[in-house]
Structure 1
């Protein structure tokens, strides 16, 4: 049976193309979630859920917490529970903003990965995880809310269609199981090269990884960062600040950095901060290959001496698990949506009413950021709640043509360079306070966790 065979027909004709999409469901139409789902399972098991959230970073947790609040306020006191299931490879919230500081300070890194049971308000009815340690998943993880049933799957999605998904836990022996859902929020984000995207699935594994990265920095006299986007720039600045005696190179293929559509004043201030810290900057320079001794060979055949290299020049959105039928919604590596963030066919402009996409994945002309991710997570939670109880969408994306670009970067010597609405500042007092902990406090306040 194909995916389309399983979809209740709500057929539309546009430009001569018939597109079949699943109908959004109201509260009285929602499938009944599995009532016998165990509190703990150490293997993948099939389940049904009303809302599936794929990814538990900024956007996914924003959606989860907003749904928890919204649904609790709308479900009648004697009404049926609504189930929300989170699938996430990590068992906690990792503050990606703090990665650059984490790789030079494992002690700081401990503050940047927060297990879900240490976040306020997030407790689960059911946890599916291969970890059978009672000390890892003790009573602090669990709750018995009367209205919203929260489930956590400590694993990853391997296939995602319009009405169902497949998932696996972390080992190859755990098997694959199916999830049927009424609504889905795809918040799987994007990955970069290690250590910017850690492999860790627990806090201790994260600490072990950043300790490994720090050990490699300790042993190298010359460290090169390839790619001067926001991530590469901050890694260069933090390494040079922590190790002022080391040679730190920042290699970038263009004349200015970062590459986002920001003012020349901002980019010049960022470069000046990095240079004053003592980082060597190579502009208009592309790396052809890394030599056997870790030196860098440029496309002009110049050799840049190096002992340790961090590649911060590429990223990819996590979309490969979309079914072949849904892959056509990807445009230039990003997922096409309408103004309500519903998955939309770029050819027909027909949308899937129950399928929402948020965060870095969306095909919008914005600077992708934690702030936008959290905004979109809350937005889709409002729309899903309204679809369930009022059968209508209530919140589109704002008018992006009138939305100013902005960015905050940590430069050299922990300087803060910011631009918002054309206002460029060095060491804005508000941003300096927020970046003492690399915004984890602000993130938790915004997420209400």
Structure 2
């Protein structure tokens, strides 16, 4: 008697998608001999894994950037097929990688657009989907990185632009903006580095304490970054930009860290998309419940902890930056969400095929957790009510912007 085949589509191979795959494969191994066959497809435009935590330094140090990209062969995943639609494997587990983007997501299939635009769109059916497509930022902070060579060329190009500028304005004092500004002033102390922020404190995350924000500001000033709060850019002009107050700010190079956009187009490209009612358009987040399943969103009645799931969305999960979750979003949060999603996919599979009664796992929300590196000498960490400043262990961990830590937790080998 042939085993049933369960098809799983994973959209996005960064922290959330990669963690889901690693953890789910452990569950497959756990139930080996008493399990269906799994046909898993990863759709990801990068032919590898970038430690995005290290981008603030990688954009201005190509040699360091070389240590932040793990090629697909070094991601620690047993791919049967690379860039192939073949399903000829007789194994109980098939793991396939497709280099491309999810163009349209439907209830039980996706349309995939390959990186090579000359190739045709492809259709991939699924029983379960993990949507971990992340968010986009302005270049160079969201490098295309189609392969390692392409990625390093991007980092070399950004470094050249930085070296050619005497006055650099970093727009937006979120986590990326703070770390980028501090790295710029550390590596190029002769340059004038401005950090422009529209609010009266930084970073803007409202779950973080005022003392956390104040210490970041103090450390930025200590490394000689010129911080301009309550300053909003109106438009770029020759040799600088204009503020909404009518001031002209001279700048040779403007680096935008203020804007980011969740990658939701695949859910909206289809006019009849069932997911249009699942998005909080004020923040462009996909509504989920505590099991990581996608749900419909109604601002007046939305309840993260007690939300019910329409039957057609029971097997579609959203994790990472794209998801609406009442917590500080970070790589560690995506890691936690991915584990919950993996356990729940396996639970539903076994409940349906083997009449088991597995309860779905619910995410344990993390508190206000964030660490920011403000140059090589300063770090600010908030763990709920605890504040750590210039902690020796933290500074050691961030010497390589967590490359070693990410390698161990994600099970990958940076080249």
TM-score (norm 1): 0.82
Of 200, 206, 210 in structure 1, the residue corresponding to residue 145 of structure 2 is 200
Contact 1:97 1:439 in 2 (8 A): yes
C-alpha distance in 2, partners of 1:437/1:343? 36
Change (3 A) 1:388 1:29: farther
CA distance, structure 1, for counterparts of residue 203 and residue 326 of structure 2: 16
State the match for 1:141 in structure 2: none
RMSD over equivalenced CA pairs, Å: 1.9
Whether the aligned pair in 2 keeps the contact of 1:276 and 1:412 (CA below 8 Å) is no
1:211 maps to 156
Aligned to 2:126, the other structure's residue is in SS state: strand
Structure 2 counterpart of 1:312, from 257, 262, 285: 257
Aligned pair in 2 of structure 1 residues 277, 320: CA closer, same or farther (>3 Å)? same
Gaps of 5+ in 1: 1-27, 33-48, 131-143
Q: Deviations over 1:398-444 (max 9, x none)?
A: 2x4xx420110011344211111222222212211211121122222
The answer to whether 1:126 aligns with 2:89 is no
Q: Residues 266-313 of structure 1: CA distance to partner in whole angstroms, max 9, x if unpaired?
A: 1111111111111111010001111122x1211111111100000111
Q: Distance in 2 between matches of 1:434 and 1:183?
A: 36
Deviations 1:128-152 (CA, angstroms, capped at 9, x unpaired)? 179xxxxxxxxxxxxx894321100
Q: Is the 8 A contact 2:327 2:367 kept in 1?
A: no
1:64 pairs with 2:10: no
Which residues of 2 match residues 222-371 of structure 1 at below 5 A? 222-260=167-205, 261-293=207-239, 295-322=240-267, 323=270, 324-331=273-280, 332=282, 333-347=284-298, 349-351=308-310, 352-371=313-332
- CA distance in structure 2 between the aligned counterparts of 1:227 and 1:129, rounded to whole angstroms: 41
2-structure distance, mates of 1:250, 1:280: 6
Structure 1 residues 388, 129: CA separation in 2 closer, same or farther (over 3 Å shift)? closer
TM-score (norm 2): 0.89
Q: How far apart are the structure 2 equivalents of 1:409 and 1:380?
A: 28
Q: Deviations over 1:52-87 (max 9, x none)?
A: 00000000000011111111221317x653111100
Q: Give the whole-Å Cα distance in 2 for the aligned partners of 1:68 and 1:445.
A: 17
Quote how far apart the aligned CAs of 1:109 are. Answer: 0.6
Give the Cα–Cα distance (whole angstroms) in 1 for the partners of residues 38 and 348 of structure 2: 13
The equivalent residue for 2:361 is 395
Aligned to 2:373: 410
Report the equivalent of 1:447: 410
How much has 1:376 moved relative to structure 2?
0.8
Q: Secondary structure at the match of 2:195?
A: strand
Using the TM superposition, give the Cα deviation of residue 103 of structure 1 relative to its aligned residue in structure 2, in angstroms.
Answer: 1.1
* CA distance in structure 1 between the aligned counterparts of 2:184 and 2:84, rounded to whole angstroms: 36
Matches of 1:220 and 1:299, distance apart in 2: 24
Residue 114 (1) aligns with residue 70 (2): yes
1:315 and 1:100 map into 2 onto residues whose CA distance is 15
Report if the CA contact (8 A) 2:46-2:144 is conserved: no
Matched, 1:385 2:308: no
Q: Which runs of 5+ in 2 are unaligned?
A: 299-306, 353-357
* 1:182-206, Cα deviation, whole Å (9 max, x unpaired): 1000000111111111122111111
Which runs of at least 4 in structure 1 moved beyond 6 Å after TM superposition?
none
Superimposed CA distance per residue, residues 79-135 of structure 1 (whole angstroms, 9 cap, x where no aligned partner)? 653111100000111111100100111111111111121133x121111179xxxxx
**Match for residue 93 of structure 1?**
49
